[in-house]
Amino acid sequence: MQADLERFWARLLTEPDFRARFIADPAGFAAQNGLSPEECDAVVRTQVQDLHTAARSYAAKNAGKRPRSSDRWWRRWLPFKAL
Amino acid sequence: MQHDRVGLGWRPELAAGIFDSLDRIDILEVIADNYVDADRAQRQGLAMIARDVAIHLHSIDLGLAGSDEVATVRLERIARLVDDIKPEAWSDHLAFTRSGDIEIGHLAAPPRTPASVEATVRNVRKAARIVGSVPFMENIATLIDPPGSTLSEAAWIAGIMSASGCGLLLDLHNLYANATNFGFDPLAFLDEIPLDRVDGIHIAGGKWISSPDGEKAYLLDDHLHPVDEAVFGLLSEVASRTAQALTVILERDGAYPPMPELLAELDRAREAMRAGRRRRAAQEAAHIQTADAG
C-alpha cells in the first residue's frame, strides 16, 4: 500500500537507527515493518550509497533550518516605510 | 501574447538590492511558509510590495504529493495569506514532506505510482477548493530514486497535470540535476511533459557532492551557486517549444553575491528566452514557407 511504503521511505531517510537496521537486513526488516512482498522487493533494490547520500542531505537541511518565523527585517523596515 | 518575465525569489537579505533594482525585476516569488504566521503589520508590508511588483507565493511544506490527505488547517493558513497578499499565483511541490507522524522536514520524492498520482490529484483539488485557486506544482530534485516507482518522472508529472488540471512550475535545475544523477536526457523529459501547461520556471545553481564513501558524485540542487549554463540552455529550449508567456524566477538561498551578479543572471535568462523565441519564430516561418510551397 502506497501509504505504508511512503512511511517506510520517510523513516529510512530521516532515522539513522531505522536505516542501519534496514541496511543490515533489507528484506527481513521491510517484511517485519509490514511491507507487502512487492514492496519488499522494491525497497531491497535501494542503492545504499544513494540512501546514505540522501539521508545526509536531509539531515543537513534540517540542521540548517531557520525557525519558521517572519523575517525580522520587516520589523525594522516597516515603521520607516509606513511613515 | 503577454511578455516573458524574469524575477527573483524574495529573500530579506536581498531586500535593499531588490528595491534598488525593481526596474530590472519583473516579479518576486515569496516563500509562503515564512509568512503564514506573520502578524498583520508584516502581511501589510508584503501586500504593499505586491502593489508595486507582481508576486507569486511559493509554498514548501504542504506535501501535496503524499498519500496523507493534506491538512485543512495548513491550507486555510495559505488561503488567508493569499487573501491578504493577493498574489498572481501560488505554487507548491510534487513532493511529500511527512507520512503520518513522521516529519521529513524537507521535500521528498514519493514512489511514482498510479496510487500516488491519484493521491496527489486529490490533494491538489482540495488545495484549490480551500485556497480558491489551483496551485502550480513544481518538479523536485532528488538524490535517490524512490522505491516501487512504476512510472517515469515525466509520465508521473504528466498524469498529475492531466487529472488535476494544475499547471507546472518547471524547475530546470531540478530537471538538470535529476537528469545528471539518474542518466536520462532532459530534452526527452521535455518531450514527455505537456509544455503548454508550463507557466512558471525556476532556475538555480548547485554543486557536486560525493557519497559518504567518496565513490559516487551527485549534482546537488542547493541554490547557493550561479546558474549553470546548461540550465540556461534548457530555458532557451523551453522558450523555443512553447507559445505562452513564461515567468522565470531565479532562486538563491544563500552565499549571496553582489546584486549586479544576480541581475546579470536575470539578464542571461532573458537572453536565453529571446534566443529560444527567435528559434521558434524561425521554425514557424520555415513551416509556413514549406506549406505555401506545397
Mean pLDDT of successive 10-residue stretches along chain A, which has 83 residues: 94 97 97 96 96 96 66 46 35
User: In angstroms, rounded to a whole number, what is the distance separating the alpha carbons of residues B24 and B18?
Assistant: 9
The CA distances from residue B100 to A34, A50, B71, B162, in Å, are 15, 24, 11, 27
User: In angstroms, rounded to a whole number, what is the distance separating the alpha carbons of residues B257 and B70?
Assistant: 37
pTM value is 0.93
- Find the CB nearest B33 among A11, A50, A68: A68
The CA distances from residue B71 to A44, B62, B84, B186, B290, in Å, are 32, 8, 21, 34, 55
End-to-end alpha carbon distance in chain B: 29
pLDDT in tens, B41-76: 888 888 888 888 999 999 999 999 999 999 999 999
Average pLDDT rounded to a whole number, residues B251-266: 98
**Which of 97-116 (B) contact A at CB < 8 A?**
98-100, 102-106, 108, 110-111, 113, 115-116
pLDDT at position B178, please? 98
**Residues sharing a CB contact under 8 Å with residue A64, sequence separation 6 or more, in sequence order:** none
Collapsed DSSP state (helix, strand, coil) of residue B94? coil
Interior CA angle at A13 toward A10 and A17, to 5°?
A: 105
Which three cell numbers mark A50?
Answer: 544513494
- Find the CB nearest B215 among A5, A49, A54: A49
Cβ atoms < 10 Å from Cβ of A17: 8
Which run of H or E residues covers position B281?
helix B259-293
- The answer to whether B183 contacts chain A (CB < 8 Å) is no
Which three cell numbers mark A32?
Answer: 517485519
Which residues of A make CB contacts under 8 Å with B? 2-3, 5-7, 9-11, 13-14, 38-39, 42-43, 45-47, 49-54, 56-58, 61-62, 65, 68-75, 77-78, 81
Host domain of residue B241: 5-293
Q: Which residues of A touch B211 (CB under 8 A)?
A: 49-50, 52-53
User: What's the number of domains chain B is made of?
Assistant: 1
pLDDT at position A66, please? 57
Interface probe for A, chosen from B103, B211, B219 (most Cβ of A below 10 Å), is B211
Query: What's the mean per-residue pLDDT of chain B?
Result: 96
pLDDT at position B292, please? 82
Average pLDDT rounded to a whole number, residues B14-25: 95
pLDDT at position A79, please? 37
pLDDT at position A81, please? 40
Which three cell numbers mark B88?
Answer: 498572481
pLDDT in tens, B122-154: 999 999 999 999 999 999 999 999 999 999 999
User: Percent of chain B having pLDDT more than 90?
Assistant: 89
The CA distances from residue B93 to A40, B84, B167, B248, in Å, are 27, 22, 12, 16
Angle at which helix A48-63 crosses helix A2-14, to 10 degrees, equals: 70
CB B193 within 8 A of CB B179: no
B131: domain CATH number is 3.20.20.150
- The answer to whether B215 contacts chain A (CB < 8 Å) is yes
pLDDT at position B30, please? 97
Question: ipTM of this predicted complex?
Answer: 0.90
